[in-house]
Chain A
Amino acid sequence: MPLADQIKLTQHNVYILPTGPGLMLVATLVTLLIASINYQLSLGYVLTFSLAGSALVGMFMAHNTLRGLVMDLGSPTAQFAGSPVAMDIRLHNPDKSVRYALILAIKQSQKSKNTLVKTELCTDVPAQGSCSLQLTFTTQQRGLQRLPSVTIETRYPLGSVKVWAYWRPAAQVMIYPRPEANPPPLPLSTDMVSAENRHAEQAQNSADWGAIRSYRRGDPLKQVIWKKAAKADQSGDALVVRIAQPNAQKELYLDINQTGTLSTEARISRLCAWVLEAQAQGLSYGLRLPGLDISPAAGLTQQRRCLEALALC
C-alpha cells in the first residue's frame, strides 16, 4: 500500500464484507421467504423482497459513506518517547450528504504485553464540509518514526456490512529519547561553578535573576530563595530557586562520555534530560556525540538540534 499524506477513498481502496448481524439478516430473509412460499403469502413476498431491496441499497449506502471521502494529516509535532503523539486527521466530504458514523482507529502492537492497543474515535462529517480529530499513540522507539496506519470503518446504515479502508500516512514524526526521570546534576565544569558562585553573589545584590521556579534535584543551593523557604515549608510547597537569565554567559558541553558507565540508551536518555535541564536553566550548551559536535548555543533551536541529534544517534 503506498504511503500518502492525503488519501481519497475510491472503490479501489475501500473494502466491504458482511458482518455477523448481516449474516443474521440474510438468515432472516431466507426464513421470511420460506414462510411466504409455504403459506403462499403474497404480502409476505412483498415484505421479504422490500427488506432485501432495502438491505441491498443499504450496502451501497455503506460503501458511499466512505467512497469519495478525502483524508489528510497535519504534520505531527515531535514528541518524547513514551509520551502520546497526536495525529491530527482532517476528513473532507465533498458531497451533498452527511457521512455518518465513521470510526477511525489506529492499532499498535505493544511488545511488552504482546497485545494490540486500539485507539478509536467516531465522527460524522457534515455535507460539503470537513471535520478534524486527533488520534494519539505512544511509542518507545526514538528516532524518525513512521506513523501507524489508520483504519477508517463504518457500519452505517444497517450494520449489516462493514466497510473499511486502510491509510498509511507518509509523514514521519521525530521521537526524541525519553529523558531520564531523575538525572544527576548537570556536569558543570569547575571554572563554571566558580563563575556561577561569583555570579550568584553578584546576583543577590544586583538581582538580575530573571525568574524563579520550584526546586529540582541538582539545583545549586545558592540559588534557593531561603526567604521563601520557611513559608514554603508551612504551605507544603516546594522550595523556590532563582533561574539565571539566558544572557548569563555560561557554557556547558554535554558529552556522552560524562554520563557514566551506562548502556547507550540510558546515556542518551540522561543526555536528553540534561539538555532539557540546561535549556530550563537558560544555559548555553553544546553536545558531543560520537562523530558529532554541536557547538554551544542557547535557545529553543539549539534544544531541537540537540534533541534530534540524540534521537537519531
Chain B
Amino acid sequence: MLSLATPKVFRVINALPRNSRDTLFLLLVIAWLVIPQAAHLPLWCTLLALAVLIWRGILAWTARPLPSRWWLLALMAVTLGSTLISYNTLLGRDAGVTLLVVLLTLKTLELRARRDAFVVSFLGFFCLLSNSFYSQTIFSAITMLIGLLGLLTALVNAHMPVGRPPLLAAARSAGFMTLMGMPIMVLLFLLFPRMSPLWGLPNDAMTGRSGLSASMMVGNIASLALDESIAMRIHFENGRIPPRQNLYFRGPVMTHFDGRRWQASHLEFESRFSETSNLKVFGAPINYEVTLEPNNQPWLLLMDAAIEPPQLSGIKARMQSDLQWQLNRPITDLVRYKAQSYARFQHGPTTFTPGLRPALNLPPGFNPRTLALAKQIRSDPRFRAAGNAELVDLVMDKLRTGGYSYSLEPGVYGTNSADEFWFDRKLGFCEHIASAFVLLMRALDVPARIVTGYQGGEQNSVDDYWVVRQSDAHAWAEVWLEGNGWARVDPTSAVAPGRTGAFQRLIAPRGVVAQTLSNLSPDLQRQLRAGWDALNNGWNQWVLNYTQSKQLDILKNLGFKSPSWEDLGYLLMAIVLLVSALAAGWAQRYRGAQDSWLHLLRKAQQRLRKAGIYDSRNQRASPRQLAETLKSQRDIKEASIKAIYDWLIKLESQRYASASSTTTKLQKKREIRQLNQQFKQLQWPTKKSQSDRKPN
C-alpha cells in the first residue's frame, strides 16, 4: 500500500473529506491486524474479511452511503454457517478467532456513531491478542505494537472533532501515550504475579506446532528435516559440551508397529506390565539447563540418561520405564528445567522378561523379503548361535558396506517400507533406516524398538547456548542385549557417519536470499544466523519464558528472603503508591509555590494579631492593608516597626507588582525564600502593655 503511495495518491487522500480519510485509515489498520492471521484462518474467512474491507474502502472513497442492516445480518449468517462447517463448533479458540475477525470487519460497515468507533477499536484489541495464540516471535511482537499504535491513533483521531487535523498529530499523541506507558508496561510485566490458568487450559490452546509426535509414519521426520525452527536450547554448566556422539535427546520411544506407523507404547499397557526402568548410571554427571520450545506434547527432552527428575517449577515429571520423562499435561509454553544426565548408563531388564514381548512383534503380512533375509541369516551356520550383539554388528556391517546411502528425499515408500529399503532403494532418511533396522532385528528375534528425539545440535557463537533445531530430529534404535539391557544402536551412523559424528548436517534446500548469502560469505551467514538466534533466545528467556520462578528470582535479588507471589503483589502496590505520591507531589508543586507566599502572610497576620494590631476577623487583608493598619496604630519611626512595614510592602509587591515577563518561577522562588529569611529577623511588637495606653 505504501509503496503505491506516490505524491499523487497523497494529494488525492488529502483532497478526501475527513470522514472518508479517517475511515480509510481505520480500514488500513484493520487490514494490518487481519493479514498476519491469514496463516491460521480458513481461506474463506480471510477472503471475506478482505472483501468487506475493500468494499467499505470503496464506499468511503466514493462517499456513498453504507449498506443496510440486512447485508450485515446476511453476511453474519454466512459467517456462522461457514464457521460451523469449518470447525463443527462455534466455540473454542480457532472458531472464536475466525468469528472475531469477521465481526471486526463487518463492524466497519456500520461506523455510524462514535460508539461504533469504540466497538471497532476494542474488537481490534482482541484481534491483536488473538494473533499471539499462534505466534509469539519478536516479529509478531513488533507487528502487534504497530497494530496497537494504529488503533490508538484511530481512537485519538476520532476524538479530534475540530476541522481536519493531520493524522500525524493523532499518531504523535498515540505514540506519546504508548511510549510513556512503556515503563508502566515493563513494571506490570515484571511484577504482575504470573499464575497458572484460572480454569483448565482449553485443549485447543496449542495446535499447529511442529515437532516430534507420539507416532511416526515413516517419512514424518524427513519433513522435519527442512524445519530450521528451534526445538530447544541448552546451557551446559561451565560450557562443557559433551562429545557429539553422546548428544542423544530422548523423545517418544516406539514399540508398536502396524506395518505403516510406529507408535509409543500405550499407557494402559504400560501400567499393567509396569517394568522398572532399572536404570544404573556410571561416571560423572553432566549438568545443564534446557529451554524447551512448546511442543504440545507431554514429554520433556533430556539427554540420555537422567536418573533424577528434571527441576521444573510447579510441575512434576515422571519417568516411564523406557526412560521417557513425562509431564501429566502437554507442554504449551516454553519450559525451562535443570537436569543431570550420565553418558554411561544401563537400563532395562538383564534377563528376558514377558515385558520384552512387544519389542518382538511384527505385523503379519508386511515386508516378506526382510523376514526371508532374517531367516537366511539365522540359517547361516555362522550365526546360528550368535548372540544379539553379534547380530547387531552383522546388520550394522550390512548397512555400512551394502551400498546404502542417507538421503533427505528418498521419495515415497510403499507398504513394505523395510523391503524397499533393504533391497530396492537402498537409501533413506534416519527413520527409514531405523525402522528397517528394527524390523530386521525383530525378525532375527532380537527385541528392538525405535527411539525418536533429537541428535546433535550446534553452538550459537553469540551467546554460547547449544541450539537444537527441528532439523536435528532423529530416529535411532535400541536393542535388548542379554545381561546388559537396552542398548542404543544408531543405524544411521553406519550409513552416514557424518550425520551423528562430525559437525556436519544435512543442508536442506534454502531460499534464494539464504542461498545468495551463503554463496557470498558462508561465514557472514553463520554469524547473522547466530546473532538472530541469540536475539531470539534472549526474547525467549526474558519475555516468553518469564515465569513465576524468574519473578521470584528478581525478588530474591532485591533482598526478599523467601519470596512468594503475595510479595510480588505487595511490591507492585508499593511502587504504585510511591509513583502516586510522587505524582501528587508534582501536582502540588505549583500550589506549594503559591502557598508559601500565603503562608508567610498568615504568619505575619498571626504576629500582628498577637500584638493586638490586627483584627483577626479580617482574614483577607492584603499585606498592604496590614502595613497601613500597622502604620495607623504604631509609631512608624521605630526601627523595628519600619522594618516590618517595609517587609509587608515587599511581600505585597512580590505578589502583585506587575511582574516583568522575564521573572522566572525560579526567581520568584528565590524572592520568597529571601522574604522568609527576612521574616525570621524581624522584631515583632508585643501586645501593648497597660502602661503604653493613654489614660482616658
Residues on A lying within 8 angstroms of B by beta carbon are 10-12, 21, 24-25, 28, 31-32, 34-58, 61, 98, 100-101, 122-124, 155-159
**B173, B177, B189, B545 — most chain A CB neighbours (10 Å):** B177
Q: Kindly state whether residue B308 has any CB partner on chain A within 8 Å.
A: no
Decide if B156 touches A157 in the complex (CB within 8 Å). yes
Contact residue among B114, B177, B199, B544 (Cβ-Cβ distance under 8 Å from A61) = B177
Interface-facing stretch out of B127-135, B269-277, B428-436: B127-135
One of A24, A40, A48, A156 near B122 (C-beta < 8 A): A24
**Residues of chain B within 8 A of A28, CB atoms compared:** 122, 125-126
The verdict on A122 contacting B177 (CB below 8 Å), with A42-B136, A43-B132, A44-B132 known, is no
Q: Within 8 Å of chain A (Cβ to Cβ): is B333?
A: yes
A65 to chain B, nearest CB (A): 10
Which chain B residues have a beta carbon within 8 Å of chain A's beta carbons? 93, 114-115, 118, 122, 125-126, 128-129, 132-133, 136, 140-141, 144-145, 148, 152, 155-156, 158-163, 165, 169, 173-174, 176-178, 180-185, 188-189, 192, 195, 197-199, 201-202, 205, 332-333, 543-546, 587, 590-591
Among candidates A35, A57, A124, residue contacting B129 with C-beta atoms closer than 8 Å? A35
The closest CB in chain A to the CB of B131 belongs to: A43
Residues of B within 8 A of A101 (CB): 159-162
Q: Which of chain B's residues have a CB closer than 8 A to the CB of A45?
A: 188-189, 192
Residues of A within 8 A of B192 (CB): 45, 49
Q: Which of A49, A51, A58 contacts B189 (CB 8 A)?
A: A49
Max chain B C-beta neighbours (<10 A), residue from A37, A52, A58: A58
Partner of B132, one of A24, A41, A56, A58: A41
CB A156 to nearest CB in B, in angstroms, measures 5
Write the nearest CB–CB distance from B5 to chain A, whole angstroms. Answer: 26
User: Known contacts being A100-B162, A100-B165, A159-B155, is A53 close to B205, with CB within 8 Å?
Assistant: no
Residue contact B198 to A34, C-beta cutoff 8 Å: yes
Question: Chain A residue with minimal CB distance to B123?
Answer: A28
Query: Does the CB pair B141–A52 fall under 8 Å?
Result: no
Complex: chain B residue closest to A19, CB-CB: B118
**A36→B188 CA distance, assembly (Å):** 13
In the assembly, what is the distance between CA of A101 and CA of B155, in Å? 13
In contact, B133 and A41 (Cβ under 8 angstroms): yes
Which A residues are CB-close (under 8 A) to B144?
A: 43, 46-47
Say yes or no: A31-B201 contact (C-beta < 8 A), given A40-B332, A53-B184, A101-B162: no
List of A residues within 8 angstroms of B152 by Cβ: 54, 158
Return the contact of B133 from the options A10, A39, A51 (Cβ within 8 A): A39
Beyond the given A46-B189, A53-B183, could you list 12 further A-B residue pairs with CB under 8 A, ordered by the A residue number?
A25-B122, A35-B129, A40-B333, A49-B188, A51-B125, A52-B185, A57-B177, A57-B181, A100-B160, A100-B162, A156-B160, A157-B173
Please give me the residue from chain B that is nearest to A12 by CB atom: B591
- Are A53 and B188 CB-contacts (below 8 A) given A35-B129, A98-B169? yes
Q: Are B587 and A43 touching (Cβ within 8 A)?
A: no
26 contacts between A and B (CB under 8 A): A10-B591, A24-B122, A25-B122, A34-B198, A37-B197, A38-B197, A39-B133, A40-B201, A43-B132, A43-B544, A44-B129, A45-B192, A46-B144, A46-B543, A47-B129, A48-B129, A49-B185, A49-B188, A52-B188, A53-B181, A54-B178, A100-B159, A101-B162, A158-B156, A158-B159, A159-B118
Q: Which residue of chain A is the closest to B175 with respect to CB atoms?
A: A54
Residue of A nearest to B125 (CB): A28
Q: Which of A12, A43, A48, A56 has the most CB of B within 10 A?
A: A43
Cross-interface CB contact of B126 among A32, A41, A56, cutoff 8 Å: A32
Query: Could you say which of A31, A55, A159 has the most chain B C-beta atoms within 10 Å of its C-beta?
Result: A159
Complex contact B162–A155 (CB within 8 A)? no
**Among candidates A32, A36, A39, A54, residue contacting B181 with C-beta atoms closer than 8 Å:** A54
Could you say which of B126, B160, B169, B333 contacts A31, with CB atoms under 8 Å apart?
A: B126
Residues of A within 8 Å of B182, CB to CB, are 50, 53
Rounded to whole Å, the gap between the CB of B21 and the closest CB of chain A is 17
Residues of B contacting A39 in the complex (Cβ-Cβ under 8 angstroms): 93, 133, 197, 201-202, 205
Min distance, Cβ B569 to any Cβ of chain A, angstroms = 14
Complex Cα spacing A124 to B160, Å: 9
Shortest distance from the beta carbon of B540 to any chain A beta carbon, whole Å: 9
Q: How far is the CB of A2 from chain B (nearest CB, A)?
A: 12
Q: Which residues of the partner chain A approach B126 to less than 8 Å between Cβ atoms? A: 28, 31-32
Partner of B128, one of A25, A42, A47, A49: A47
Contact between chains at A159 and B159 (CB < 8 Å)? yes
Q: In the bound complex, what is the Cα–Cα distance between A115 and B132 (angstroms)?
A: 52
Bound CA–CA A170/B499 (angstroms): 91
Q: Which residues of B contact A50 (CB under 8 A)?
A: 145, 148, 178, 181-182, 185
